[in-house]
Structure 1
Amino acid sequence: MEKYGDWFIMALAGTLLLAWLYRSFYRWLHAPVNMNRITLGKGAAVSDGDENVQLLNRNGYKVLSAKHVVPIPVELDDAPLGTGARIYIDYMATKDDLTYIVKTARERKPMDWTASGVRDQLLVYALLLQDCSGILYIDAKSGTIRKIAFHLSD
């Protein structure tokens, strides 16, 4: 009896392993091409004295991290173009179990509050981190927080 029990356990383990391998291969085979997701590192430490962090905290947001830099290599005619490009994310914040990318207002680059102006300046962030619930555009001088969400259709 002990001999058949060992064979049964081995057969069950082999079947589970084959099922897991098949499922993993099937998922990989049918995954969309654009599934390469960017993962952010830890980012810089959050300074509690920062007026932007204080504004977010007063409005119920919890700031997770600050100053993320996402390097993007650029090629032109199959040759690297300089050192590439970088995208800067000022903060990452959460509220009600939703994660947001935070961009701060800059005097040198004011926001054009038209659909095309918002798209031109912020759509790249929504495409870069698709798991986020939106983008918070904050202006500490005026004390405003604007929530932007892009609804992309398939």
Structure 2
Amino acid sequence: MGQSVDWFVMLLTGALLLIWIYRALYNWLHAPPGMKRLRLGKGGEWSADEPSVHLLESNGYTVTSGKHRVPITIGWNGSRLQSRLYIDYVAERDGNVYVVKCARDRQPMDWTGSGMRDRLIAYALMLPESSGVLYVDAVERTVHEITFELGVSER
């Protein structure tokens, strides 16, 4: 009797394993093609003496990564153009990760929905696992948290 129970357990385990492998393979084959995910390293050096870093830390954020330069290749009419986006910092608070952009005198922010979308949505789309974008203005001593929800309409 003991040997038949052993065989039954082995067959059941084998069947469950085969079903699990089949489902994993099926899901992998039928999943939409993945995006090229951006993986940020540690970034450039930053100092706690920088006004933006000090402002973030005084508002409860922890800067975890310095400045990043993200190269972008753009195809245009058969030719290739080179560009880049800059992420000033990556910060965390309460387990949430944020992309940080600092205010620039030459590029004032348009605080309308379309202005924030045009200026900042690229950063939210580059790192979809982030909780939002922090816009830091060290001169005015403000930290704005901007989040984007795609496909949600309030009509």
Instruction: Establish whether TM, by shorter chain, passes 0.5.
Output: yes
Deviation at 1:11, TM superposition (A): 7.6
Note the alpha carbon deviations across 1:50-95, whole angstroms, 9 max, x for none: 11111001110000011111111111223322xx111110000000
Q: Does 1:151 align with 2:155?
A: no
The 1:77–1:57 alpha-carbon spacing in structure 2 relative to 1, beyond 3 Å, is same
- Residue 131 of structure 1: aligned partner: 129
Q: Does 1:106 align with 2:126?
A: no
Note the alpha carbon deviations across 1:80-121, whole angstroms, 9 max, x for none: 22xx11111000000000000000000010101011111110
Partners in 2 of 1:24 and 1:79 — Cα distance? Answer: 40
> Contact conserved, 1:68 with 1:88, CA < 8 A, in 2?
yes
Q: Does 1:53 align with 2:85?
A: no
> Contact conserved, 1:92 with 1:99, CA < 8 A, in 2?
yes
- Residue 27 of structure 1: aligned partner: 27
Q: Tell me, what secondary structure is at the counterpart of 1:44?
A: coil
In the alignment, structure 1 segments of 5+ residues that lack a partner are 1-6
Give the CA RMSD over aligned residues.
2.6
> Contact conserved, 1:43 with 1:68, CA < 8 A, in 2?
yes
In the alignment, structure 2 segments of 5+ residues that lack a partner are 1-6
Q: Does 1:36 align with 2:39?
A: no
Q: Which moved more, 1:25-34 or 1:12-21?
A: 12-21
> Contact conserved, 1:46 with 1:64, CA < 8 A, in 2?
no
> Contact conserved, 1:134 with 1:149, CA < 8 A, in 2?
yes
TM-score, structure 2 as length reference: 0.82
